[in-house]
Amino acid sequence: MKLIAPSVLSADFSKLGQEIKNVEKAGADWIHLDIMDGHFVPNITFGPEIVKTSKKSTDLCLDVHLMIENPDQYINQFIDAGADCISVHFEAVTHLSRTIQLIKQKDVKAGVALNPATPVNILEWVLEDLDFVVIMSVNPGFGGQSFIPNTIEKIKTLKTMIAQKNLKTLIEIDGGVNEKTIQKISEAGVDIFVAGSAIFKSNNYKETITKLKNKW
Ligand code: DX5
Ligand code: ZN
């Protein structure tokens, strides 16, 4: 099953709760929340309080993408705020296996995100512990960037790794997903599609989500 996860990074923050309700009504499957600390990435967004507020607006799975240094220090706060899925960046963590266990201890789904320059084979010895892998198809930090084309090859390599190990790990793609790119991304084997600007900068969320889903 394929899922669409609108990233609220491109939403109107002055009415975040309503924006979340609107994309839910328009066919969103998950809600993607981008946490940025101004250190790991050159941008700052929000923390657990906004996750808690978002939880009040929807029953959909809250997919929390931590683009922060030292995520171990904050994981419990995000879980208490209502995160259903949490991904941490491979590049931001020293003891990855420990961090994954920390997320899973409370029955939250665990993911690892990889920057465009990070190869997928570094996941070899943790893949079986992961519910999902986030392949970044832009350099993290901002919405509205262009999809990096060689990501397609990377998705295929990861898909093969997952199949060879007989695992059910899902592949999430994040960055530059739109009506022009989604078909190729889908054919490469992606399960979860994050889309920020393509949805929130459009005039009609339902029409856009339907178009995206018709192309995968
Ligand atoms: C980028 C974020 C993305 C971002 C995607 O660092 O992780 O989730 O919102 O935005 P678009 O879909 O506009 O590329
Ligand atoms: Zn993200």
How do residues 125-181 score in pLDDT, each as one tens digit?
999 999 999 999 999 999 999 999 999 999 999 999 999 999 999 999 999 999 999
Ligand 1 atom at shortest distance from the alpha carbon of 65: 7
What pLDDT, in 10s, does the model give residues 109-141?
999 999 999 999 999 999 999 999 999 999 999
H or E element at residue 86: strand 85-89
Would the pTM count as exceeding 0.95? yes
- Nearest ligand to the CA of 143 is 1
What pLDDT, in 10s, does the model give residues 37-57?
999 999 999 999 999 999 999
Residue 63 annotated among the catalytic residues of the structure: no
What's the pLDDT at 90?
98
What pLDDT, in 10s, does the model give residues 177-214?
999 999 999 999 999 999 999 999 999 999 999 999 99
Distance of CA 199 to the CA centre of its chain: 15
Question: How many angstroms separate the alpha carbon of residue 32 from the centre of ligand 2?
Answer: 7
Q: Which residues line ligand 1 (CB under 6 A)?
A: 7, 9-10, 32, 34, 65, 138, 140-141, 143-145, 174-177, 194-198
- Residue closest via CA to ligand 1's atom 10 equals 143
What's the pLDDT at 56?
98
Residue 174 annotated among the catalytic residues of the structure: yes
Cα atoms in the Cβ-side hemisphere of radius 13 Å centred on 196: 23
d(CA 144, CA 13): 16
What's the pLDDT at 134?
99
Say which residues have a Cβ less than 8 Å from residue 154's Cβ, sequence separation at least 6: 119, 120, 135
